[in-house]
Each structure stands twice: as structure tokens, then as C-alpha cells.
């Protein structure tokens, strides 16, 4: 999922404001490190935001779909 956003953040002693794209990726936990490495190498940011969210509950049909389509 891609969402255009306006960001404000503290960077190197001052507040920066930029238009960015927030990307939400859905995958299996086992893929996190590989995805993190790819984003760090290709994002263009010195410190890209890469956050893993542990899901406590998910509907079974969606979980089954993820299991089918994600390696």
C-alpha cells in the first residue's frame, strides 16, 4: 500500500518538512531482515524508517492468503 504523506521530523539539528510516500508491506516475519536490507540499500535515505509490527490477531482467510502467496 502506498500513501502520499507530509512529514515533519528532526534531522541534523533542524526540523525538516517533506512530501513522502508511506509504504506498507505485508509479509512473513522471516522476510523482515531481507526487506530491511533492500530498503536500506535502495531508499535514498541515510536512515530509512523500517518498522515491523507484530500482529496479535488476523482473520484466517487473509492469513491463509499470505501463506499461499509469500515465500
Q: What is the pLDDT of residue 55?
A: 86
Whether residue 6 contacts residue 17, with contact meaning beta carbons closer than 8 Å, is answered with: yes
Using DSSP's 3-state secondary structure scheme, residue 33 falls into helix
Q: CA 52, CA 5: separation in Å to the nearest integer? A: 19
Mean pLDDT by 10 residues, the chain (71 residues): 97 97 94 96 95 92 93 85
Per-residue pLDDT, 71: 85
Strand, coil or helix: 17:
strand
Amino acid at each position: 500500500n502506498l500513501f502520499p504523506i507530509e512529514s515533519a521530523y528532526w534531522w541534523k539539528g533542524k526540523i525538516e518538512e517533506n512530501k513522502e510516500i508511506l509504504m506498507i508491506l505485508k509479509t512473513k516475519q522471516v522476510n523482515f531482515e531481507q526487506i530491511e536490507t533492500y530498503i536500506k540499500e535502495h531508499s535514498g535515505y541515510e536512515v530509512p524508517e523500517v518498522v515491523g509490527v507484530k500482529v496479535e490477531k488476523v482473520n484466517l482467510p487473509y492469513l491463509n492468503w499470505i501463506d499461499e502467496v509469500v515465500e
